Amino acid sequence: MRLPGLGPGRADRGRGTPADLVAVGLANPGSEYVGTRHNVGAEVVDVLAERHRARLKRAVGRALSAEVRMDQRLLVLAVPGVFMNLSGQTVAPLVRRYCPDDVTRLVIVHDELDLEPGRIKVKVGGGLAGHNGLKSVKAHLGSDAFVRVRLGVGKPPGRQAGADHVLRRPGKAERAELDVAVADAADAVELILAEGPDRAMNRYN
């Protein structure tokens, strides 16, 4: 099924080999956000790029992206080059180029307040849990049927606002938990590519 509004655009018509999976790690750009809870999605993509000896370069839709192969399957890795609440502006061109007929081949990797730090879950479609990056992706695609790999960062302590919590860097103990979760989430993306989201949900949820 071709998604509404995702016919070929002038900038990307006819370019690119169809991908088996497009994995996008949500984040805010800029050195001041590196290492914050909100940027764990991008950390997962960085791990995958390192594993497959790929270098993310600016390409489609103001995203940093790379194409890698796993057992003859094409995996596109990407990090949006815009702020979190504008993520859909970069995701939609990637979908137009690599998987316009099947949004379930898009995986969004993102931080999740409703999961404790270090826990991951895989989900297909459904609610957005107030995540501004996911809201933007849904708005630009006209669909929420994409796959999500959710990395827990926990709820903010006391009366701290959720936005303040995710924009801060975790302490040493939490950082160690997140490092393990980032590696696990990278494994989950590879499992989705190899065996599909249902297999990943059975393993990680």
- 15 within a domain of the structure (yes/no): no
- 10 within a domain of the structure (yes/no): no
Q: Distances from the Cα of 104 to the Cαs of 10, 113, 148, 165, 192, in angstroms?
A: 24, 23, 10, 30, 10
Summarised one tens digit per residue, pLDDT across range 75-117 is 999 999 999 999 999 999 999 999 998 999 999 999 999 999 9
State residue 13's pLDDT score.
Answer: 44
Tokens read off for 174: 């939490």
Number of domains in the chain: 1
Is residue 94 within 8 A of residue 82, CB to CB? The reply is no
- 166 within a domain of the structure (yes/no): yes
What is the domain-level CATH number for residue 162? 3.40.50.1470
Helix (H, G, I), strand (E, B) or coil at 145: coil
Share of the chain above pLDDT 70, in %: 92
Q: How confident is the model at residue 16 (pLDDT cuts 50, 70, 90)?
A: low
Tokens read off for 77: 């890795």
CB atoms within 10 A of CB 31: 6
Average pLDDT of the residues in 119-137: 91
Q: How confident is the model at residue 58 (pLDDT cuts 50, 70, 90)?
A: confident
Q: How confident is the model at residue 162 (pLDDT cuts 50, 70, 90)?
A: confident
Residue 152 pLDDT exceeds 60: yes
Domain assignment of residue 54, given as a range: 21-204
Is residue 42 within 8 A of residue 79, CB to CB? The reply is yes
- 43 within a domain of the structure (yes/no): yes
Average pLDDT of the residues in 57-74: 90
State residue 12's pLDDT score.
Answer: 47
- 159 within a domain of the structure (yes/no): yes
Catalytic (active site) residue 38: yes
Q: What spatial distance separates the first Cα and last Cα of the chain, rounded to whole Å?
A: 28
Catalytic site residue from 38, 110, 131, 140: 38
State residue 193's pLDDT score.
Answer: 98
- 182 within a domain of the structure (yes/no): yes
- 8 within a domain of the structure (yes/no): no
DSSP string, 3-67: PTT-SPPTTTTT-SPPPSEEEEE----SGGGTTSGGGHHHHHHHHHHHHTT---EE-GGGEEEEE
Report angle CA 28, 201, 83 to the nearest 5 degrees: 10
Spell 98-121 as b/e; 16+ CB within 10 A means b.
Answer: bbbebbbbbbbbbbbbebebbbbb
- 2 within a domain of the structure (yes/no): no
Is residue 18 within 8 A of residue 24, CB to CB? The reply is no
